[in-house]
């Protein structure tokens, strides 16, 4: 018994020696700014670190191939050895992490989870699935990143699990499966946007627009038969048609909505301090002539990014249906996670920068945002550079404005690798080992202090405060859509002017069909001035419901810009399936290229779930369905309008 203190002292000394060794070692990566330094905090030979996130106290959470770790702090502010919080089934890949209150939110390849109490508890943690259903086409695709929106929704990016499918000489492919998410408590009648009943299903109303679509798209509840493995509770469900996308859900997993479509493989996701959302998109290495360079994008609600129909205007300048990029000079690109920097800790040149971990170029690159019309442009500058096999993959801002990075060591691209990895921090050159900052547990802070304007200068802190205030407001069941009615402390911190986008499609389907010229005039006056590519988004909205007379009037208008809008609307209506469409029973679906894509083991289930038992799963092209299914009168009308416009005097319309 007298030897225990000596053993304890020995362990502490060993860890201190290990930490000093890490600090003293020559690293395989360096920062380009002489006023900064990079310090390695930890290294693992086989945990495959990927995602990284900090909380307001300075704790670090790191996710990898199958593990989730926490780095707690001692009284001096130094990090203790990593502690395993949870071990997932193999190949789960914790791609991103977010913090809310005492809970952790995890985005893995095949599901989004919440771990109640995971921020502070270290035993007995149980993941709770919030969103799932996407087939596991490849561990590099599917669900990727998450970030909290200004209104308190969790935004999630997803890659295209059928990137390989279709004839790329006439690019057109769509995946179809069922998305499952949490139902709310109040059932109401199930109706589609068109008002048609969904036989055999009930809709669940969560108090907002339900379902994946922008309008009330049918938030259905599906109960699995008792003999089907693993389905032990009710789930809200919605059919999904699409490729890569950005979604949003409530923190409790309810109210799934589509935010943006037409992405290939968006890995990073972050908001700036003004509520603008940004992502990156991996190029298609198999066909670089069509789908390279990589894309850095300002993503607005309702936007469509054209994969695989197109990529960017620099590749196809004659296309009028592709939004502008923030940066279209990334070259061959495998960007991974990204963050936004607007803190005062680092020099001013780093403020209002996107930070992107670029596996391909072995860099952390920064992109200073420059407003350009209704969007942004940004030139790439290297912040951290890796050597040989050292490749940055994860990044976040925390602990008073420092930048935390995960580094993987890989010689080449692999499917689901086990690799050596580091956790490092980018900080000031003079920063002491204890990295002092104003640590605080925001869940314990008085509301008045959370709304203190003195914190405006450090966005990483301010963003966390906003999310904590939103969380408390929801606990009190306050209506955040009417900020003027909230108590003053809430009004002082909650962002204003960020509301649900009202799509143009809210106009009734038969509105102005008898007077299309009046409709054209109203549409001219209703363009949303704050949206990226508002004409494109308006055409996408109008394509959601049948308006053949209005579309015909626009296609035949004297004004070329109106004709272009009509052509885009007709084309979108014919070739972009509604995100939540039920497929016709005779519509063919090709299976995924590997059967195991449909059979997934989730962390909160004892047995794998076969997605094919819960709904139709597969791939298709619009061309395949056009050949097989009987055309409607509206489809023939729209097709005829497009044939007419082949003789238009303007090249872009033709």
What are the tens digits of pLDDT across the range 29-85? 999 999 999 999 999 999 999 999 999 999 999 999 999 999 999 999 999 999 999
- pLDDT recorded at residue 186: 47
Reported as type and span, the H/E element at residue 489 is helix 488-493
Dump pLDDT digits (tens) for 379-406: 999 999 999 999 999 999 999 999 999 9
Give the C-alpha separation, 410 to 391, whole Å. 7
Contacts of residue 431, defined as CB under 8 A and 6 or more positions apart, other chains included, come to 37, 402
* Closest by Cα among 62, 42, 108, 44 to 416: 108
- pLDDT recorded at residue 577: 92
* Closest by Cα among 624, 630, 632 to 588: 624
Q: What is the DSSP string of 22-80?
A: HHHSPPSEEES-TTEEEEEEEEESSS---EEEE-TT--EEEE-SSEEEEE-B-TTSPBP
- Looking at the chain, the whole-number percentage of residues with pLDDT higher than 90 is 60
> Is residue 282 scored above 70 in pLDDT?
yes
Tell me how far the alpha carbon of residue 426 is from its chain's centroid. Answer: 25
Alpha helical stretches, state H, 303-445: none
Dump pLDDT digits (tens) for 556-583: 988 888 889 999 999 999 999 999 999 9
Planar angle of CA 281, 285, 288, nearest 5 degrees: 95
Give the C-alpha separation, 573 to 567, whole Å. 10
- pLDDT recorded at residue 502: 54
- pLDDT recorded at residue 188: 32
Give the C-alpha separation, 175 to 476, whole Å. 40
Q: What are the angstrom distances between the C-alpha of 640 and each of 548, 558, 570, 611?
A: 11, 18, 10, 39
Cis peptide upstream of residue 105 (ω within 30 degrees of 0): no
**Widest pairwise Cα distance in the chain:** 95
> Could you tell me the pLDDT band of residue 486, with boundaries at 50, 70 and 90?
confident
> Is residue 132 scored above 90 in pLDDT?
yes
Let me know: does 306 contact 322? Beta carbons within 8 Å.
Answer: yes
Instruction: Among 1.10.3720.10, 2.120.10.30, 3.50.50.60, 1.10.510.10, name the CATH number for the domain at 27-38+49-427.
Output: 2.120.10.30
> Is residue 529 scored above 60 in pLDDT?
no
* Closest by Cα among 153, 161, 170 to 133: 161
> Could you tell me the pLDDT band of residue 542, with boundaries at 50, 70 and 90?
confident
> Is residue 527 scored above 60 in pLDDT?
no
- Looking at the chain, the whole-number percentage of residues with pLDDT higher than 70 is 82
Contacts of residue 314, defined as CB under 8 A and 6 or more positions apart, other chains included, come to 328
350 compared with 166, residue with greater pLDDT: 350
Dump pLDDT digits (tens) for 179-207: 999 998 643 332 222 222 222 222 233 33
* Closest by Cα among 140, 182, 181, 174 to 158: 140
Average pLDDT over residues 130-139: 93
Coil, helix or strand for 460? Answer: helix
Name the one residue in this structure whose structure tokens are 């007298």. Answer: 2
Please tell me the total number of residues recorded for the chain in this structure.
654
Give the C-alpha separation, 120 to 118, whole Å. 6
Coil, helix or strand for 261? Answer: strand
Reported as type and span, the H/E element at residue 450 is helix 447-450
Name the one residue in this structure whose structure tokens are 């005829």. Answer: 640
Mean pLDDT of the chain: 84
Name the one residue in this structure whose structure tokens are 């997605």. Answer: 611
Contacts of residue 136, defined as CB under 8 A and 6 or more positions apart, other chains included, come to 109, 110, 142, 161, 596, 597, 600
> Could you tell me the pLDDT band of residue 495, with boundaries at 50, 70 and 90?
low
Planar angle of CA 55, 60, 64, nearest 5 degrees: 125
Residue range(s) in the chain whose domain bears CATH number 2.120.10.30: 27-38+49-427
- pLDDT recorded at residue 287: 85
Dump pLDDT digits (tens) for 221-255: 433 333 444 444 579 999 999 999 999 999 999 99
Dump pLDDT digits (tens) for 204-219: 333 333 444 433 333 3
């Amino acid at each position: 018994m007298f030897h225990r203190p000596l053993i304890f002292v020995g362990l502490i000394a060993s860890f201190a020696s290990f930490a000093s060794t890490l600090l003293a070692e020559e690293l395989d990566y360096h920062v380009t700014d002489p006023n900064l330094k990079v310090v390695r905090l930890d290294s693992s030979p086989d945990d495959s670190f990927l995602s990284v996130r900090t909380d307001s106290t300075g704790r670090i959470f790191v996710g990898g191939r199958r593990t989730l770790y926490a780095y707690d702090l001692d009284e001096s502010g130094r990090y203790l050895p990593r502690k395993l919080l949870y071990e997932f089934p193999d190949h789960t890949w914790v791609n991103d992490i977010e913090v809310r209150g005492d809970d952790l939110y995890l985005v893995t390849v095949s599901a989004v989870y919440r771990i109640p109490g995971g921020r502070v508890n270290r035993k007995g943690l149980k993941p709770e699935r919030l969103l799932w259903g996407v087939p596991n086409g490849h561990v590099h695709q599917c669900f990727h990143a998450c970030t909290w929106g200004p209104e308190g929704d969790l935004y999630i990016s997803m890659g295209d699990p059928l990137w390989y499918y279709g004839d790329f000489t006439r690019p057109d492919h769509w995946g179809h499966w069922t998305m499952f998410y949490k139902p709310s408590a109040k059932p109401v009648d199930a109706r589609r946007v068109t008002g048609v009943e969904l036989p055999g299903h009930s809709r669940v109303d969560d108090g907002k627009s339900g379902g994946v679509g922008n309008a009330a798209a049918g938030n259905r509840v599906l109960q699995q038969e008792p003999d089907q493995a693993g389905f032990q509770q009710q789930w809200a469900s919605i059919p999904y048609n699409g490729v890569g996308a950005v979604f949003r859900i409530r923190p409790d997993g309810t109210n799934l909505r589509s935010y943006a479509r037409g992405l290939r493989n968006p890995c990073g996701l972050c908001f700036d301090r003004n509520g603008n959302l940004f992502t990156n998109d991996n190029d298609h290495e198999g066909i670089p002539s069509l789908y390279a360079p990589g894309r850095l994008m300002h993503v607005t609600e309702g936007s469509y990014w054209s994969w695989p129909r197109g990529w960017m205007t620099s590749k196809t300048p004659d296309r009028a249906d592709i939004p502008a990029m923030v940066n279209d000079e990334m070259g061959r690109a495998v960007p991974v996670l990204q963050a936004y920097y607007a803190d005062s800790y680092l020099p001013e040149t780093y403020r209002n920068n996107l930070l992107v971990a670029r596996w391909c170029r072995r860099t952390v690159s920064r992109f200073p945002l420059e407003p350009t019309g209704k969007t942004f442009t940004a030139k790439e500058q290297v912040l951290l550079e890796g050597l040989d096999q050292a490749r940055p993959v994860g990044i976040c801002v925390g602990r008073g404005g420092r930048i935390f990075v995960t580094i993987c060591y890989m010689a080449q691209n692999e499917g689901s690798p086990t690799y050596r990895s580091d956790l490092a921090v980018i900080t000031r050159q003079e920063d002491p080992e204890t990295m002092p900052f104003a640590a605080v547990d925001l869940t314990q802070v008085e509301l008045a202090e959370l709304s203190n304007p003195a914190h405006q200068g450090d966005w990483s802190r301010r963003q966390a405060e906003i999310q904590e205030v939103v969380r408390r407001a929801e606990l009190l069941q306050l209506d955040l859509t009417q900020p003027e009615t909230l108590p003053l402390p809430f009004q002082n911190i909650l962002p204003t002017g960020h509301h649900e986008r009202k799509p143009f499609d809210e106009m009734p389907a038969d509105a102005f069909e008898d007077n299309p010229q009046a409709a054209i005039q109203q549409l001219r006056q209703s363009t949303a001035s704050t949206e990226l590519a508002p004409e494109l988004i308006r055409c996408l909205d109008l394509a959601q419901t049948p308006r053949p007379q209005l579309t015909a009037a626009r296609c035949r208008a004297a004004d070329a810009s109106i004709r272009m809008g009509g052509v885009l609307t007709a084309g979108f209506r014919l070739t972009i399936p509604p995100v939540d469409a039920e497929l016709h029973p005779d519509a063919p679906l090709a299976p995924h290229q590997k059967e195991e894509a449909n059979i997934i083991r989730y962390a909160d289930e004892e047995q794998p779930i076969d997605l094919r038992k819960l709904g139709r799963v597969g791939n298709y092209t619009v061309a395949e369905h056009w050949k097989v299914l009987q055309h409607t009168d509206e489809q023939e009308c729209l097709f005829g309008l497009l044939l007419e416009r082949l003789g238009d005097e303007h090249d872009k319309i033709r």
